[in-house]
Structure 1
Amino acid sequence: MRIHPDIWYRLSPRWRGLCWGVSSGLMLFGVTGVQLHIQQQQLTTQQAQHEQGAAINARLWTAVRKLFPEDDVPASMATRPFSPLEFDTGEMRMVRWQPVSAGGELVVDAVWAQIPTLFATLARRDVAVGRFTIQPEQQKLRITLQLERQNAG
């Protein structure tokens, strides 16, 4: 629909300003709606990828547990409860332990060769690692672990 220029110029400045404001607002509303729609699609895609990744991670952990069944663990080691003081040895030093109701945060300085032992010990103590980070710290590595008790129910 074309508006003849004479009609536009016959409007008072107040009406022209009002028309311009309404049309600008409608365009802004439309652009914002399109942006929100695109963001919602991206969020849905990311959530689907996250769920797919979590499912793959669960399958991989199941496969790893099948490779190393708990029957191979001596009974004396499997029955010992978790203690953060176990990680204060010669090549491994506990920096911080911050407990919470169903786990906690453990920070350890260790050499690279001790990291597999650290995870194996945690697995034997019925403690799951929710997430971890490894950062260089002088001559050793600083490992920050978010721990969760497996049978916290």
Structure 2
Amino acid sequence: MTGGLFLERWCALPARQRAIAWVFGTGLFTLGIYLLMVRPLQQQTDRLTAQHQQAVARLRQMRVGALPRPPSDAEGVAPTEAAFSPLAFQRDGIRLVRWQPHARGGTLTLSAEWTQIPALFTRLAQAGVEISEFSVEPGESQLRFVARIEDLHEN
């Protein structure tokens, strides 16, 4: 019976008051949904994004720290690290297929035998570049090694 009494009172209100009450009620409902559902999810997403960025920064530091540091020129010893050149990888049966440079490095595509691919990682590290992603795909007679590399010396 209380439902009927509420409906009678609602209908007895002037149209303007009903519209104001409806807008106010809808606003309160929307605010409640935002505070109970959307805002906590947004805060959790922000926390997870910050954790992800910290993990990426730590991983980058660990990668750089894992590479051997060349002696500085101040110590009187010339650095053993050679400057990166895609043509330097074209030897010992490895063929340069494509070099596509970009702002901080480039995409290196080589044709090589399976046994030669592990040594490529060492040679790239000695050249002062970091592999951000790579793939090994079947080629015509050899495997195709595609690596996206970044220069560690540029900021």
- TM-score bracket relative to the smaller structure: 0.5 to 0.7
Deviation, 1:10, is 0.8
Tell whether 2:119 aligns with 1:117.
yes
**Residue equivalent to 2:101:** 99
Number of aligned residues? 144
Contact 2:112/2:144 (<8 A) preserved: yes
Contact kept, 8 Å, 2:105 with 2:149, in 1: the verdict is yes
Structure 2 residue aligned with 1:51: 54
Higher Cα Rg: structure 1 or 2? Answer: 2
Contact 2:134–2:147, Cα closer than 8 Å, also in 1 = yes
The runs of 5 or more residues in structure 2 that have no matched partner are 72-76
> Could you say what secondary structure the match of 1:78 adopts?
coil
TM-score between both structures, scaled by the size of structure 1: 0.65
| Secondary structure at the counterpart of residue 119 of structure 1 | helix
- The answer for the alignment partner of 1:19 in structure 2 is 21
Query: TM-score normalized by structure 2?
Result: 0.64
* Alpha-carbon distance, 1:8 to partner: 1.3
The alpha-carbon deviation at position 120 of structure 1 amounts to 0.9
C-alpha distance after superposition, 1:22-63 (max 9, x if no partner): 32233223323441332232221232244135425634663x
Alignment of 1:68-107 (within 5 A): 78=80, 80-89=82-91, 91-100=93-102, 102-107=104-109
- How many angstroms apart in 1 are the aligned matches of 2:63 and 2:149? 20
C-alpha separation in 2, matches of 1:95 and 1:77 = 29
